[in-house]
Chains A and B, each alone.
Chain A
Amino acid sequence: KAGVTQTPRYLIKTRGQQVTLSCSPISGHRSVSWYQQTPGQGLQFLFEYFSETQRNKGNFPGRFSGRQFSNSRSEMNVSTLELGDSALYLCASTWGGATYEQYFGPGTRLTVT
């Protein structure tokens, strides 16, 4: 099976712009979660989508949003970028059973200048 894929892998944006990141889960996986990884804050949960519905949400401002399509692919959007949004954004997928064993993609490295 192909793993979790994320595009683009690297992105440079300017403050105030918006950005959309994409994640394709492992085939058959219905849950997609997004995490932000930074040296200072570690891995922080953004949100989770399951069957096109947001099922869980972390403590991030409303500038961070996401969606999931019928084929389980997911996108996350960050509007009005701030310098502090520079991070590695990780996507993880899981089948959605009781154990929630997550498989991570390589991440999108976002740099905001």
Chain B
Amino acid sequence: AQSVSQHNHHVILSEAASLELGCNYSYGGTVNLFWYVQYPGQHLQLLLKYFSGDPLVKGIKGFEAEFIKSKFSFNLRKPSVQWSDTAEYFCAVNTNAGKSTFGDGTTLTVKP
């Protein structure tokens, strides 16, 4: 069975700092990869996705992620975070139709 590991449970940054959240998965076949974000009091929203092609994908709000197949990784990055980026971030792997496996999530707190 596939699994997803997110390296950091809680990250605290100051505004304008750069962000990188790690995500590793275990699955030997073709995967669809996602990052979701859950802002306080809101529901899960898709941040970005990778299916195939260019391993560097761009999402909403200036986020990007890089798929490195050899490392089974899909790390999320943002050059300069804002206070409004405070949220919980989930990495997810989809290998079988509507069944996705999620990481435990990383809580990001951005100090103004």
Binding site for B on A (CB under 8 A): 31-33, 35, 42-45, 48, 50, 55-56, 58, 90, 92, 94, 96, 98-107
Highest count of chain B CB atoms <10 Å: which of A31, A42, A55, A94:
A42
Is B82 close to A, CB under 8 A? no
A-B contact pairs, 26 of them (CB 8 A): A31-B98, A32-B98, A33-B98, A42-B104, A45-B99, A55-B98, A56-B96, A56-B97, A56-B98, A56-B99, A90-B43, A96-B97, A98-B51, A100-B97, A100-B98, A101-B32, A101-B46, A102-B46, A102-B94, A102-B98, A103-B46, A104-B36, A104-B43, A104-B44, A104-B45, A107-B43
Binding site for A on B (CB under 8 A): 32, 34, 36, 42-46, 49, 51, 90, 94, 96-105
Whether the Cβ atoms of A55 and B90 lie closer than 8 Å is: no
Classify the secondary structure of A's interface with B: strand
Residues of chain B contacted by A43 (CB below 8 angstroms)? 90, 102, 105
Instruction: Compute how far the CA of A92 lies from the CA of B99 in the bound complex, rounded to whole angstroms.
Output: 10
Distance (whole angstroms) from the CB of A91 to the closest CB of chain B: 10
Instruction: Compute how far the CA of A55 lies from the CA of B90 in the bound complex, rounded to whole angstroms.
Output: 24
Residue of B nearest to A94 (CB): B98
Whether the Cβ atoms of A101 and B104 lie closer than 8 Å is: no
From known contacts A99-B51, A100-B32, infer whether A45 and B45 are also in contact, taking CB-CB under 8 Å: no
**Interface pairs A-B: 3 shortest CB-CB:** A48-B98, A43-B102, A104-B44
